[in-house]
Chain A
Amino acid sequence: MPYLLRRFMQSLLLLFVLISFVFVVGRIIGDPALIMLGTSASETALDQLRENLGLNQPIWQQYLVFLGDLVQGDFGVSFRYGFSMMPSDALRAEGTPVLPIVLSRLPATFLLAGTALVLAFSLAVVLGCLAAMYPRSWIDNLVNVISLASVSVVQFWLGLILIIVFSVQLGLLPTGGYGSWQHLILPALTLAARPLGRISQVVRSAMLDELSKPYIAAARAKGVPEWRVVFVHALKNASIPIVTITGDELSQLLTGAMLVETVFAWPGIGLLLIDSLGRRDLPMVQAGICVVAALVILVNLAVDFAYTVLNPRIEMDNRGGRA
């Protein structure tokens, strides 16, 4: 499978570039000690921290140490997590390892993102197909309006609006938190808005393209029922652009989750990252970014894999990359 192998190597390379980028920005452009302790910290405290973190070594040596630690899953320790923000805490030798904390927050984010995607995708496919089947009808207009609106709205604002309507005014759902399906609804809906709009638009245009092709007319002439013509014949061939956009949206979901988790206090990796940024917890931030970026790259790879399954021609033509 040379195509997939090539994509895999590219993904690894990208991941490597990203990790190096995190290193460069963290260590070279920024001063980790300053970042972690803030500008009001004393000079001695800063020096002490630099010594603890090994920041006085030559850069290339730091880089190698960094990479070495990474491979072992060691992203460093956090001095902030669970502690107060006293500068002296940063000087303590012990802290909580960062990577396990980051990973422990993933399930909550997956739950949120997964629910949102399933909601958005299923609704989008149905709406998009209907819009393509009945062009210029009210459903076609509805789909257009929805997709336009969903691209123009700010996700966190949408979440806040939903809170205002359903929690504050109507009192039906909680304003945030975690634990039951009621806590899941509003954040999932908020997160699902944007992918719904974009996927339904792509479904619609891809289906319009396919439905005008000769093999569709031939299938109808054969006597195939219309629902099968649309959902079996046309949809299968329209699936490549649909899968592409879904993959795009999935990686966007992971970052969109950051905003939504903040609004709804949903304890996922997004909220962790935002909190860590606020607490100046550099190791945690670095770990979080690397993990999320790695996930995004993984999703892209999965999308490419889905291509080869859906369209037998890709494997044979051995086309590289996405259109």
Chain B
Amino acid sequence: MRAMQPYETLDAVPAPLLDIRDLRVSFDTPHGLVKAVGGVSWSLSPGETLGIIGESGSGKSVGLEAIMGLIKSPPGHVSGQVLFDGRDVLTMAERDRRQLRGEKIAMIFQDAMSALNPSLTVGTQIAEVYRLRRKCSQAEAERKAIELMDRVKIPSAKTRVGCYPHEFSGGMCQRVMIATALALNPQILIADEPTTALDVTVQRQIMTLLAELQREDGMALVLITHDLGLVAETVDRAMVMYAGRIVESGPVDALFETPTHPYTRGLIRSMPRLDGASGALHAIGGTPPAAGRMPRGCAFHPRCEQRVDRCLTERPNLRMVAKGQAAACHLAEETRHD
């Protein structure tokens, strides 16, 4: 049996649904070329839930935008491979890429109300792509919109289908977004911080809804968030991103029980505990590096309590540290998985 490559901790089974290989994204800025995502690889299998954890600026959202082909080519530069059903999204024609969006991969965003067009009705927006792709009538499209609104549990869908986004609350807007995403039955749903702008109770409702829909449709879910609690509850596998790279990855239980990378450990430690055992709240000192001002060596070393000299000069690569778990740290012991 060959040794499992580090990036393969994030490969579930052969023939994955989505296969990312060495994705890199950089941008031209007046201050020079800035790297947002550097060499990221992972994959997703049908029906599974993957979590991507990171702070702002870690490259988590940019990476997913690149996957959907939404990065404008100047000033952005994308390289690597994004294989969906064997076809590379990055080398596809724009027309084919656009076909994928909505039908195979859909995305929902953080601030749902501002992600909706304020001057179009909710019904129009939900069924818009459905109507364009299936070439159906307006009545048919409206019927579909009502059906989707019912699925996401928006009350009085028939009367509210002609309402405008500003007439809905934040949680309801997010449901509208989910309905829009589901319109063409995609195989993958990417949720970029779907609950960050919402109250805790509403968060719960939205996540429950997503889980339900996932179960019903067999959809894969990629959940991008900085909220560890959310990850712990909903996700099968997860990866932690920092400064545009993956620093740790693995099954979610292992990640929480035996975190290897100091950043992951810091994140978990800074979660307050309800049983009062946390004592003083812990925080990771310092701030993430600004894009374009990467430290030499390991990007995390300025904030790391355990750094050694090697960390200042040499950047650690992702290495296997336990079964199915990988981390990018010089101090993590490398184990080989047989």
Binding site for B on A (CB under 8 A): 213-215, 217-225, 228, 233, 236-237, 310-313
Stretch of B103-111, B278-286, B292-300 that contacts chain A: B103-111
Docked Cα-Cα span, A89 to B114, in Å, equals 70
Quick one: which of B75-119 are within 8 Å of A by CB?
98-103, 106-107, 109, 111, 114-119
Report the Cα distance A228→B115, complex, angstroms: 16
Residues of the A chain whose Cβ atoms lie less than 8 Å from the Cβ of B271: none
**Minimum-distance CB pairs A-B, first 3:** A223-B102, A223-B101, A218-B115
Are A215's CB and B98's CB within 8 A?
no
Q: Which residues from chain B contact A220 at a C-beta distance below 8 Å? A: 70, 101
Report chain A residues within 8 Å CB of B177. 218
**Distance A220 CA – B116 CA, assembled complex (angstroms):** 12
Give chain B residues whose Cβ lies under 8 Å from the Cβ of A311: 119
- Listed by A's residue number, 18 A-B pairs whose Cβ atoms lie within 8 Å are A214-B109, A214-B111, A214-B114, A215-B116, A217-B115, A218-B116, A222-B180, A222-B181, A223-B98, A223-B101, A223-B103, A223-B133, A225-B132, A228-B132, A237-B117, A237-B119, A310-B119, A313-B164
Residues of B within 8 A of A225 (CB): 98, 132
- Give A218 to B119 CA distance when docked, in angstroms: 15
Cα–Cα distance between A19 and B291 once the two chains are bound (Å): 64
Is B4 engaged at the interface, CB distance under 8 Å to the other chain? no
Q: Known pairs A224-B132, A236-B120. 15 more at Cβ < 8 A?
A: A214-B111, A214-B114, A215-B114, A218-B109, A219-B128, A221-B106, A222-B106, A222-B128, A223-B100, A223-B133, A224-B128, A225-B132, A228-B132, A237-B118, A312-B164
B144 at the interface (CB under 8 A from A): no
Query: From residue 157 to 215 of chain B, which have CB atoms closer than 8 A to chain A?
Result: 164, 166, 177, 180-181
Inter-chain contacts of B128 with A (CB < 8 A):
219, 222, 224
Q: Count B-side interface residues using an 8 Å CB cutoff.
A: 28
Q: Which of A214, A237, A310 contacts B115 (CB 8 A)?
A: A214
| Most-contacted residue by chain B among A218, A219, A228 (CB, 10 A) | A218
The answer to whether A215 and B115 touch across the interface, beta carbons within 8 angstroms, is yes
- Residues of A contacting B267 in the complex (Cβ-Cβ under 8 angstroms): none
A131 → B minimal CB distance (Å) = 16
With known contacts A215-B115, A224-B129, A233–B101 Cβ distance under 8 A: no
Given that A312-B164, A313-B166 are known contacts, is A221 also in contact with B107, CB under 8 Å in the complex? yes
In the complex, chain A residues whose CB is within 8 Å of the CB of B133: 223
Q: Name which residue of chain B comes closest to A236, CB basis.
A: B119
Is the CB of B17 closer than 8 A to any CB of chain A? no
Known: A233-B117, A236-B120. A217 touches B70 (CB 8 A): yes
Whether a CB of chain A sits under 8 angstroms from the CB of B68 is yes
Cβ–Cβ < 8 Å partners of B115 in chain A? 214-215, 217-218
* Residue ID in chain B nearest A312 by CB atoms: B164
Q: Are A221 and B68 in contact (CB under 8 A)?
A: yes
For residue B287, give the distance in angstroms from its CB to the closest CB of chain A. 25
Q: CA A225 – CA B102 in complex, angstroms?
A: 12
**Chain A residues whose C-beta falls within 8 Å of the C-beta of B101 in the assembled complex:** 220-223
Q: Which residue among A224, A236, A237 has the maximum number of chain B CB atoms within 10 Å of its CB?
A: A224
Within 8 Å by CB of B117, from A215, A221, A223, lies A215
Most buried by B among A220, A222, A310: A222
- Bound together, the chains give a CA A224 to CA B116 distance in angstroms of 13
Find the A residue at minimum CB distance from B103.
A223
Q: Specify the chain A residue showing the minimal Cβ separation from B167.
A: A316
Chain A's closest residue to B180 (CB) is A222
Q: Which residues of A contact B120 (CB under 8 A)?
A: 233, 236
B330 CB to closest chain A CB, in angstroms?
Answer: 38
CA distance A310 to B111 in the complex (A): 24
Smallest beta-carbon distance B294→chain A, Å: 26
Q: How far is the CA of A148 from the CA of B118 in the complex (A)?
A: 32
Q: In the complex, A214 Cα to B193 Cα: how many Å? A: 14
Q: Report Cα–Cα, A222/B115, bound state, in Å.
A: 11
Which chain A residues lie closer than 8 Å to B99 at the CB level?
223
Tell me, in angstroms, the Cα distance from A237 to B111 when the chains sit together: 18
Using CB atoms, name the residue of chain A closest to B111.
A214
A45 to chain B, nearest CB (A): 64
Beta-carbon contact of B118 and A313 below 8 Å:
yes
Which residues of chain A are near B106, meaning CB under 8 Å? 221-222
Minimum Cβ distance to chain A for residue B74 (Å): 10
